[in-house]
Amino acid sequence: MSALCLVLTTLAAEPTAGEIALLKTFHQEFIHITPGTGVYPAAFTLGRAEGGEENERPPVEVSFSYDFHIAKYEVPQNLWEAVMGSNPSRWKGPRNSVEMLTFEEAQQFCSKVTELMRISELIRSDEVIRLPSEAEWEYVARAGTTTVYSFGDDTARLDDYGWHTGNAAGNDPPVGAKKPNPWGLYDIHGYLWEWVLDVAHNSYKDVPTDGSAWTKGSDESVRIVRGGSWKDKANKLTSSYRFAVSHDLRDDAVGLRCVLAKIK
């Protein structure tokens, strides 16, 4: 079993009817990504050749030999509360993205929601809900594009696609209030930073090129978040911008988006 897989060690209680309804909605909101078919290229270039930060280079070609599902929305607070039993968010709203959660808590959510969805027979025993790898995240964020943002290079268009410091008063709107990227993912640019599986590293030299996560860094307490947030300027909302933070960071600009995939 790879490092991407989550080990389920406790048995969850039988979900209530209300919880099952939320789990069904969550399941229906996944988008099937099939690299090498249709609009989904088998490979893409991770990072940037020019501009951006030093840790976005050198650009590396990543190839996928597997399919997976990605949530079109960040995890909303009503689902988090149903799964975890509490809501840590500062900006309350049932369909607002959950925030104020650490990397470990994001992992715990993925483990618990996996078990609940198996009990509810929404996913198979060989499937798991987890955080995306950096490569998976940027692949779906770019959505087949090579531009700075998934909608192009013009920052003047950013207001249509993302919440950032220029148009947001806080983390107050529900998920999906802006336009989606070309593959139907909402709030990829801005709204909340999103935890990914990877340990922080200073460059893409020797990064895995098969879509898997970089999980053996020198300091596993430093993790990566992606996408920018409502607190950030346009340069941090690009498809390739990387931000290294402590694994125990709690911030009202950090949340998560999930992947549904087969266990490797």
What single DSSP character describes residue 200? Answer: P
Cis peptide before 76 (omega within 30 of 0): no
Q: Using CA atoms, how far apart are residues 210 and 207, in angstroms rounded to an integer? A: 9
**Tens-digit pLDDT profile for residues 228-252:** 999 999 999 999 999 999 999 999 9
Query: Which range among 90-99, 117-126, 136-145, 164-173 shows the weakest confidence by mean pLDDT?
Result: 164-173
Does residue 206 or residue 27 have the better pLDDT? 27
Delineate the domains of the chain, giving CATH numbers in brackets: 17-262 (3.90.1580.10)
Report the pLDDT value the prediction gives residue 2, as an integer from 0 to 100.
Answer: 36
Residue 12 has a pLDDT of 57
* Cα 92 to chain centroid, rounded: 20
Compute the distance between CA of residue 139 and CA of residue 105 in angstroms, rounded to an integer: 24
- Position with higher pLDDT, 95 vs 3: 95
pLDDT in tens, 212-226: 999 877 788 999 999
Helix (H) or strand (E) holding 180: none
Mean pLDDT calculated for residue range 191-205: 95
pLDDT for residue 39 is more than 50: yes
Name the band, by pLDDT with cuts 50, 70 and 90, for residue 143.
very high
Q: Please indicate, yes or no, whether the overall pTM of this predicted structure exceeds 0.85.
A: yes
